[in-house]
C-alpha cells in the first residue's frame, strides 16, 4: 500500500510540475493627443457667413490612417474645459470631417438658418487613436 501511495504521489508531482503557466501578452498601440490654438482669423466662410470652417493640419501619416484609425475632437471655450465635438454650444452646431492630413472643424447655426459670427480664440484637442488591422 505504501508503494502504491508513493507511486501515485510521484505521478501527481510529475503531473503538476509538468503544467506551465500561460500568460497572455497584450500589445497596445498608444494614442496621441495634439493641441491647436484657433483665433478669429482661422475661420473662413464660403457661403456669406452661414457656415464657417477652420482647418487643423497634421503630418502624422505614420500613426494615422483614415481607413482604420479613429479621431476624437474636443474644443475649449475657456478654463481648459473641453467639450466633445459634435455638439451644440450657445446655438452654434460644431462638427468635423477628417481626411489623411487635415481635420476640418465646421460651425453653423443650430437651426441651419441665418448668418453666424465665428468664435474668437478657442483651443482644440485632437486625439488620434491608431487601430490594428
Give the total number of structural domains in the chain: 1
Whether residue 1 is contained in a domain is answered as no
Residues of the domain holding 84: 29-129
C-alpha distances in Å from residue 100, one per residue of 22, 31, 60, 86: 40, 16, 8, 19
Whether residue 13 is contained in a domain is answered as no
Q: Tens-of-pLDDT digits for all 133 residues of the chain?
A: 666 666 676 666 655 555 566 667 666 768 888 899 999 889 999 888 889 999 988 765 555 667 778 889 999 988 889 999 999 888 889 999 988 778 899 999 888 788 888 878 889 999 988 877 6
Whether residue 2 is contained in a domain is answered as no
What do you get for the CA distance between the two ends of the chain, in Å?
60
| pTM of the predicted protein model | 0.71
Look up the CATH number of the domain holding residue 108. 2.60.40
Whether residue 5 is contained in a domain is answered as no
Amino acid at each position: 500500500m505504501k508503494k502504491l501511495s508513493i507511486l501515485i504521489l510521484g505521478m501527481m508531482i510529475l503531473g503538476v510540475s509538468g503544467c506551465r503557466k500561460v500568460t497572455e501578452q497584450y500589445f497596445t498601440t498608444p494614442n496621441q493627443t495634439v493641441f491647436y490654438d484657433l483665433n478669429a482669423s482661422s475661420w473662413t466662410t464660403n457661403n456669406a457667413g452661414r457656415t464657417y470652417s477652420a482647418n487643423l493640419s497634421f503630418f502624422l501619416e505614420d500613426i494615422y490612417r483614415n481607413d482604420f484609425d479613429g479621431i476624437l475632437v474636443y474644443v475649449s471655450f475657456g478654463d481648459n474645459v473641453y467639450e466633445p465635438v459634435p455638439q451644440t454650444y450657445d446655438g452654434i452646431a460644431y462638427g468635423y470631417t477628417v481626411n489623411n492630413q487635415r481635420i476640418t472643424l465646421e460651425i453653423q447655426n443650430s437651426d441651419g438658418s441665418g448668418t453666424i459670427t465665428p468664435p474668437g480664440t478657442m483651443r482644440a484637442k485632437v486625439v488620434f487613436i491608431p487601430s490594428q488591422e
